Amino acid sequence: MLPTFMPVATQAAIKGLTPQQMEALGVTLILNNTYHLNLRPGIKILQEAGGAHKFQGWNNNLLTPEESISIQHAIGADIIMQLDDVVPSLETGPRVPEAMQRSVRWLDRCITQHEKAGRQTTQNLFAIVQGGLDPVLRDQCLNEMIDRKDRVAGYAIGGLSGGEGKEIFWRIIKQCADKLPLDRPRYAMGIGFAEGLKAIPSAITQHNLTFQAQIMGRTRDAILNGTFPAYLRTFFSKYFSTSRYPEWCVEALRSVGVDLLEDNPNAKMVSGTGAKWEYSDAS
């Protein structure tokens, strides 16, 4: 059920927790790293073990977001990612459209290989939207990848969380989310802070960093119960106990019809990211 939380098990292990403990937390999807699994323990050992699920004693879903489709087939992940050409999010100039166009071409090659292997019903291929911080390039990439909707199971929004300002960050996320098909999962790569999760609620169904299991679980409950706007206001008032909300959070939520300042005369907008490194009990 979406939105969902995906903890990272880079080398097929969640440090400090057993698979049984992960299941007890309500986690149903974990993320492996194809590149690292290919190096160690290696594809031969994974194949002899019966795939990454059996290798790590995990009976639920896996996601491996790198390298080739053939390696991901050998791993046996439920969700596999296309190979994309990634540039730093602050990159400008001709390298950005070049990477976007190459990512589209590589998606076609990934789709072809995936379909030749006959894995469409057993492994779900996700496209990755690129285009840097340029809305025009993002639109071009979105159009190309939406044209391939019937051949992919979902979409990831890549190329962000690399030092760009939050104002442009949330606008790019929203641009992509508004255009991507509603009947496909949408995965925002690299979002970690609670305010980032809450400030783009209309956009994303999958996340992959810790401190998100409880946050996204309660977010999902609020959506199902029809109390999502009120839940957001309560969360932010607790999370930012001084009622000084980052401007980008306020504007991002206003874009989807939720005003954090409504019925809160003490609330103020402030500049800055609002990032809080410590964990919070406001989830």
Convert the pLDDT of each residue in 6-42 to its tens digit.
Answer: 788 888 888 888 888 888 888 888 888 777 888 888 8
Length of the chain: 283
Residues 283 and 150 both lie in one domain: no
Statement to judge: residues 197 and 67 lie in one domain: yes
Question: What's the pLDDT at 277?
Answer: 45
Per-residue pLDDT tens over the stretch 77-124: 899 999 898 898 999 999 999 999 999 999 999 999 999 999 999 999
pLDDT, tens only, 178-234: 999 999 999 888 776 677 777 775 556 665 545 566 777 788 889 899 999 999 999
Tell me, yes or no, whether 225 and 259 share the same domain. Answer: yes
Domains identified in the chain, total number: 2
Q: Which residue, among 259, 256, 275, has the nearest Cα to 201 in the 3D structure?
A: 256
Domain boundary among 166, 181, 213: 213
Same domain, 204 and 227: no
Domain match, 148 and 72 both: yes
Among 213, 234, 249, which residue terminates a domain? 213
Predicted confidence (pLDDT) at residue 279 exceeds the cutoff of 50: no
Angle between helices 166-179 and 135-146 (to 10 degrees): 30
Residues 235 and 256 in one domain: yes
Cα distance between residue 120 and residue 111, in whole Å: 9
192 and 221 fall within a common domain: no
Q: Are residues 137 and 240 in the same domain?
A: no
- Give tens-digit pLDDT for 137-189: 999 999 999 999 999 999 999 999 888 888 899 999 999 999 999 999 998 88
Do 23 and 135 lie in one domain? The reply is yes
Domain containing 46 equals 4-213
> Do 90 and 229 lie in a common domain?
no
Return the pLDDT at 280.
44
CATH code of the domain in which 33 resides: 3.20.20.105
Q: Give the pLDDT band of residue 127 (cuts 50, 70, 90).
A: very high
- Which of 189, 213, 237 terminates a domain? The answer is 213
Tokens representing 231 are 């839940």
Nearest Cα to Cα of residue 159 among 248, 252, 90: 90
Note whether 102 and 228 are same-domain residues: no
Q: Do both 147 and 89 map to the same domain? A: yes
